[in-house]
Amino acid sequence: MENTPKLTLRYVTLHMDKSKNLGIKLFGGNKVGIYVHDVAPGSPSDHAGIRKGDQILEYNGVDLSGVTAEQAANEISKLTDTVTMLVQNKLHTLKQIKDEPGDSFYIRVGFDRIGELNEDDLRFVKDEVLYVDNTVFNGTFGLWRAWKLDAMGHRKECGIIPSQMKVEEELRSGEVVDCDTGTARRGSTSARRSFFRRKKNQRSSSRDSTEIASFSNTQLSFFPDLGLLNDDGGALSYQRVELLDSPIRRPVLIIGPLSECLMDRLTIDFSNLFKLCEVTAMDCSQEAMEEGLKENIFVDYRRRGNKFECTTVEAISNACKNDRRHCILDVSISAVERLQRLQIYPIVLLLRFKSAKQIRDIRDFGTDKISAKAAKEMYERAMKLETDYKQYISAVIPGVSIKHMCTQIKDAVDKEQDKLLWVPVSSAA
C-alpha cells in the first residue's frame, strides 16, 4: 500500500543531453492520467529522480490532467534544453490500471471510411458516433483504436482508425485514396471526406498494447499545429461528443410547406402528445427584442400588428420539464443554433414534397386552395431550407395528405425521442 511520502507532489528538473533523450516510457490517457511506465538507467529522467509510477501532472508548465495519450505525447515530444515536471508517485495505482485502456471519449465522424481496408481497420459512415479508448495504438502515432456502438450506446466492434491529426493532415494536403482504384490523388472537398485508410502494408499488431510511447531515443515531428476548419473546403474529421442524459420531452420544430396547418392539426388529433409552445406579446422596440436575443431571454420573435410575439427560453424550458407532451415551437430554423447553445435540442422535421403541384393538391381538413405561384415559392423555400440547415434536420416527412403527415410526424417524434442524443462537448480536452 502506498504511504504518504510517495503521494507528495514533486517538481523535478531535467537537464537534457545532446541527443535530447528523456529516457522514459509512458502509459495512460484522458481516462486515467499520464504515468511513467519505465525509466531508462542513466537517462536524464533517471538522474532527475523520475521513478516508475510517477503521474505527470504538468510538463514545462502545461497541465496534463485530462489529456489523451496522443496529446500528452505531442506535448512531451517538444523537448528543450531544460525540462520541468510536476509529478506524484502512484505506483500502486499504475499497477491496478496498467492493463486498461488509458483513453475514453466519443467522437462523431465527418466522413465515410468504406471500401477495401486492412483487416484491423474499422469501417464507418459519416455522422456515426464511435468510442475511442486508445489514441496511440500499440505505441504508433497516427492510429486510434475505436469501437462501433449499437443503438443503446454499447460497444460491439473495434478496429483501427486514423487519428484526428492524421486525418486533418491529409485533408489539408488534399491527398486521398481513391475508393475504387486505391491510388492517391488530390481531390475535391467531398472526395476528401469520403475515404481515409492506412497503406496496405501498414499493419498493426493484434496485441493491444496500452503503452503510449518510448521517449528514450525518439524525437517526434509528426504533430503539426492543427485546428478544426469549417465545412467550406477545410478539414472535417472528428467532433468530440457526449451522451446527453435527459429524460425530458424534446421540443419539436416542423419546417416546410403547410407546417402551420400541421402544427394546429397535431394539437387536435394528438392532443395528449403535442401542445403549442406559448408565445408572449411584447409592446416594445425591435432593438429591445434584439437585446433579448443576445441575453438569451428570447429564442425568436416576429411582428404581429403593432406588437411583437416572442418565444422565450423560459417558456420552452418549463414546457419541456413540466409537461408530458412535446412542445411544438413556432420559430424559425435559425433559432435552433441558439437553442442548442442553451442545451435545448429540438427534434426538427422537414416536410418534403416532390413538386409544387403536390403542395397544391393537398385538400384534406379544409386546407385553403394554394395558388401556383405560392406553391412554387413554398417548394423552393423548402429546398433551400434543406440545403442550408441539413445539419439540424432530424428526419424528413414525405408530403402526402395532412392526416398521413400527422401520423408520420407522431411516429418520427417517438423514434427521435427514444434515440440516444449525442451532443458536442463544449470544451474538449
Cα–Cα distances (Å) from 163 to 68, 130, 141, 197, in that order, read 12, 13, 8, 11
Q: Rounded to an integer, what distance in angstroms lies between the CA atom of residue 423 and that of residue 108? A: 9
Please tell me the predicted confidence (pLDDT) of residue 2: 47
Phi, psi at residue 236, to the nearest 5°?
A: -140, 100
CATH of domain 105-211+219-243: 2.30.30.40
Domain boundaries of the chain, sorted by first residue:
4-97, 105-211+219-243, 252-424
The predicted pLDDT at position 316 comes to 95
Burial 333-367 (b: 16+ CB within 10 A, else e): bebbebbeeeebbbbbbbbbbeebebbbebeeeee
Domain 252-424 fold = Rossmann fold (3.40.50)
Give me the tens of pLDDT residue by residue for the chain, a chain 429 residues long. 444 445 789 999 998 877 678 899 999 999 999 999 999 999 999 999 999 999 999 999 999 999 999 999 999 988 788 999 999 999 999 999 989 999 999 999 998 998 888 999 999 999 999 999 999 998 888 999 999 999 899 999 999 999 998 888 887 776 544 433 333 344 444 433 333 344 444 444 434 555 665 554 333 333 333 333 343 434 468 999 999 876 689 999 999 999 999 999 999 999 999 999 999 999 999 999 999 999 999 999 999 888 999 999 999 999 988 889 999 999 999 999 999 999 899 999 999 999 999 999 887 766 678 899 999 999 999 999 999 999 899 999 999 899 999 999 999 999 999 999 999 887 544
Instruction: Answer yes or no: are the C-beta atoms of 83 and 20 closer than 8 Å.
Output: no
Q: Please tell me the predicted confidence (pLDDT) of residue 211.
A: 61
Which CATH number is correct for 4-97, 3.30.70.360, 3.30.420.40, 3.40.50.1000, 2.30.42.10? 2.30.42.10
Identify the DSSP state of 137.
G
> What integer pLDDT is reported at residue 193 of this predicted model?
37
Helix, strand, coil percentages for the chain (3-state, nearest 5): 30, 30, 45
Query: Which residues lie below 8 Å from residue 17, measured CB to CB, with a gap of 6+?
Result: 44
Q: How far is the C-alpha of 365 from the C-alpha of 261, rounded, in Å?
A: 9
Residue 59 · residue 45 · CB < 8 Å:
no
pLDDT of 174 reads: 65
176 within 8 A of 185, measured Cβ to Cβ? yes
